[in-house]
């Protein structure tokens, strides 16, 4: 009986800890703004639900070619196309629902939140060439930025390179990682799979710890799993990293009809960034060999411990966030 009560209490504590952030989020204020097109390229904005901080305090930023002076929004011939953001989202205003009502066609809704403060508005109707060019420019750049700023993804790729070194095996390993993260990125972006972001980030950190351990094994003369089947390990962990990429894409509030295109361009951007990183690492490895600038024997394990320590630090920090301690 006591055991059962204790178990129930523990379960409630865990649930309260896990759901605490969501419970708090409901207390925050929501705003709803409607942008109605009154003539081509000209909109009238109206707050149908004013946020607690007051409509006049909302710092709404519209695309560069548009001019906003509430209630008027003038976008000219290009129309209301591009990123819209609110810079002062916070505890007093956690989300704003944006409704765009065009003169013709169905109205569209976007949600701007603290987690996804930018929404991309694309032209109504069938996508034109201009729409695709805009989409490609935005998402290729976004993919490059995402991988270059994702130190955890880069560290994992560095670990793979360290184990496999060069040649066809490396090409196959990096390809497997690419296929893995592309598959899960697509599945997550289309809503086929969904994993909460915090535990996922902890898993990503753990994948780098795994690679660090594998490097240590290899340096000690034992062939680890990655050394024997690098493509399998890269592909499997690629699936995990891909869901992480998808969370960045989902945060932009993109329309579903343009999701496949955005996904493709985002993935192209990620690959461009990843390829640039791999080439830089390979060039530096070649340069070190050429200069015979290698670590002394006692320092053989330094890179592995450096990679493993950084990843473990991330893992513990992310695990604490999963458990809701902070």
Partner 1 sequence: MRRRLNRGAFAAPLLLVAAQSADAHIVASRLGDFYAGALHPLTDLQDIVLWTALGLLAGSLGAARGRGLVLVLPLGLLLGFNVGLSFGSTWIAPLTNAGMMVLLGVLLAAGLRINAAALLAIGLVLALMRGVVNAGGVGTATDRVLFGAGLALSGYAFITLITALALTFRGSDTAPSRAWRRIAIRACGSWIAAIGLMVGGFALAS
Q: Where do contacts with partner 1 occur on this chain (CB under 8 A)?
A: 145, 148-149, 280, 283-284, 286-288, 290-293
- Least separation, in Å, of the C-beta of 32 and partner 1? 30
CA 227 to chain centre: 29
Across 98-132, b (16+ Cβ under 10 Å) vs e yields bebbbeeeeebebebbeebbebbbbbbeebeeebe
237 C-beta neighbours (distance < 10 Å), count = 25
- Least separation, in Å, of the C-beta of 284 and partner 1? 6
The dihedral sign for the CA sequence 181, 184, 189, 190: positive
- Least separation, in Å, of the C-beta of 276 and partner 1? 12
With 0-12 / 13-18 / 19 or more C-beta atoms within 10 angstroms meaning exposed / middle / buried, residue 280 is exposed
- Least separation, in Å, of the C-beta of 151 and partner 1? 9
Residue 31 parent element (H or E)? strand 30-39
Distance CA 37, CA 79 (A): 10
Query: 10 or 287: whose CB is closer to partner 1?
Result: 287
219 C-beta neighbours (distance < 10 Å), count = 14
Provide the edge-to-edge strand list for the sheet that holds 42-49: 67-69, 72-74, 42-49, 30-39, 95-101, 108-113
- Least separation, in Å, of the C-beta of 268 and partner 1? 18
Query: 26 or 297: whose CB is closer to partner 1?
Result: 297
N residues, the chain: 326
Query: 16 or 275: whose CB is closer to partner 1?
Result: 275
- Least separation, in Å, of the C-beta of 64 and partner 1? 14
Query: 38 or 306: whose CB is closer to partner 1?
Result: 306
User: Is 207 in contact with 241 (CB distance < 8 Å)?
Assistant: yes
Query: Rg of the chain over CA atoms, in angstroms?
Result: 24
Query: 156 or 210: whose CB is closer to partner 1?
Result: 156
- Of 207, 255, 209, nearest to 233 by C-alpha is 207
- Least separation, in Å, of the C-beta of 75 and partner 1? 24
Query: 14 or 284: whose CB is closer to partner 1?
Result: 284
Query: 24 or 165: whose CB is closer to partner 1?
Result: 165
């Amino acid at each position: 009986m006591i055991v059962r009560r204790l178990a129930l209490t523990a379960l409630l504590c865990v649930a309260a800890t896990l759901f605490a952030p969501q419970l708090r989020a409901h207390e925050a204020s929501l705003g709803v703004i409607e942008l109605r097109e009154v003539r081509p390229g000209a909109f009238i904005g109206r707050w149908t639900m004013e946020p607690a901080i007051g409509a006049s305090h909302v710092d709404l930023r519209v695309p560069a070619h548009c001019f906003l002076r509430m209630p008027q929004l003038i976008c000219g011939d290009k129309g209301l196309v591009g990123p819209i953001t609110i810079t002062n989202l916070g505890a007093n205003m956690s989300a704003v629902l944006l409704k765009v009502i065009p003169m013709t066609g169905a109205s569209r809704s976007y949600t701007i939140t603290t987690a996804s403060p930018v929404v991309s508005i694309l032209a109504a109707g069938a996508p034109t060439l201009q729409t695709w060019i805009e989409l490609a420019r935005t998402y290729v750049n976004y993919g490059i930025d995402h991988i270059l700023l994702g130190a955890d993804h880069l560290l994992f790729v560095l670990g793979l390179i360290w184990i496999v070194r060069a040649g066809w095996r490396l090409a196959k390993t990096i390809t497997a990682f690419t296929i893995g993260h592309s598959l899960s990125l697509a599945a997550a972006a289309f809503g086929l799979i969904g994993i909460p972001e915090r535990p996922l980030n902890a898993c990503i950190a753990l994948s780098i710890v795994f690679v660090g351990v594998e490097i240590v094994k290899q340096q000690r003369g034992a062939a680890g799993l990655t050394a024997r089947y690098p493509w399998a390990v890269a592909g499997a962990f690629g699936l995990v990293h891909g869901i992480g990429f998808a969370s960045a894409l989902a945060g932009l509030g993109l329309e579903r009809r343009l999701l496949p295109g955005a996904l493709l361009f985002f993935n192209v951007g990620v690959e461009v960034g990843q390829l640039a990183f791999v080439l830089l690492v390979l060039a530096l490895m070649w340069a070190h060999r050429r200069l015979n600038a290698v670590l002394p024997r006692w320092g053989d394990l330094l890179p592995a411990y450096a990679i493993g320590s950084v990843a473990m630090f991330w893992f513990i920090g992310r695990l604490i966030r999963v458990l809701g301690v902070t």
